[in-house]
Structure 1
Amino acid sequence: MTNEYAKADLEHVLGEVQEQFKAIAEIQQARARLTASASVRKLATVTVNANGTVVDTKFGPHAEDASLNELAKAVTEAAQQAVTEVTKLGMELMAPVQERQARLPKLSDLLEGFADVKPQAPVAPPVTMVPLAVDAEEPVMEFSDVETFTPERGSGFTDSSW
């Protein structure tokens, strides 16, 4: 009789997993269409896709009066704001799947004596939002122990004797 309960529990979990896969596929489709835009001081509006790639940039009516430096800063700031927004929207899309996953029983709940497996994914460090300084005085790599290679004509696969 206990085996029947375990079997029913396992079938329920497998059904839930299938629903998770279906929900994830739907979320992936929605995410593929996801964009966010941000405007800064009526100078620039930047739109990014779900990957944070800039897909559109527009300059506002006051752009002609701004310096190139001000425009560059406005575009950068707008892009950063748009990426922050699209990231938030992407996380909101995933929330129902994460909630459903939290309700699923653990493996140890289904199989007595079986340890829960929780792989620890590495946490990516935050990426920089400022340009990296390039040192113009960086030494150039030079190699002194090199040999010159000159291929022999007529001994390769392009030789006409083939």
Structure 2
Amino acid sequence: MMRTYALIIMKPDALENELVEPIIRRFNEHHFQIEMIGFKRADEKLILTHYAHVVEKLGDSFKRMAIAAFVGQAMIPIILSQDGDQAIANSRALTGATDPTAAQPGTIRGDLGTDSFENADREERCCYNLIHCSDSTESLLTEIKLWFEPETYEVFAPLISSVG
């Protein structure tokens, strides 16, 4: 059977609220396997590269908010795999909508999220939505290269590319 891959990144609010284990458990319950766990204390270059597409879309205000929210913060990237060809779609469905108040019950953000875009906008900050989830094979490869050591990328890139 074919295996496909996904990437999630535990954001600072997941770590601060001790939700790493419950979130990983959710993925395990949905037949995801952990392939690699990393750890990064994000610097400005990493965050601005990771969020470049959002900064391009939303501009300098988002850039400032992302720097304030993530630079210097601990984050945990996790490469997951799942049987079948839908690991990215399934991981995104399990994660739920980016705005926790719009996320369905049964999703990670719907059940564990406590913030909203409305509160974040009012307070001029990024929304605390627990985890990042890659949205395509292309972003998966780009983000693994950003968040993991080169050796990890060298191992996973051929596996992902062969099914992507």
TM-score tier, shorter chain, comes to under 0.3
Structure whose residues are more often helix by fraction: 2
Task: Choose between structure 1 and 2 for higher RCO, CA contacts under 8 A separated by at least 6 residues.
Answer: 2
Structure whose residues are more often strand by fraction: 2
User: What's the TM-score once normalised by structure 2's chain length?
Assistant: 0.25
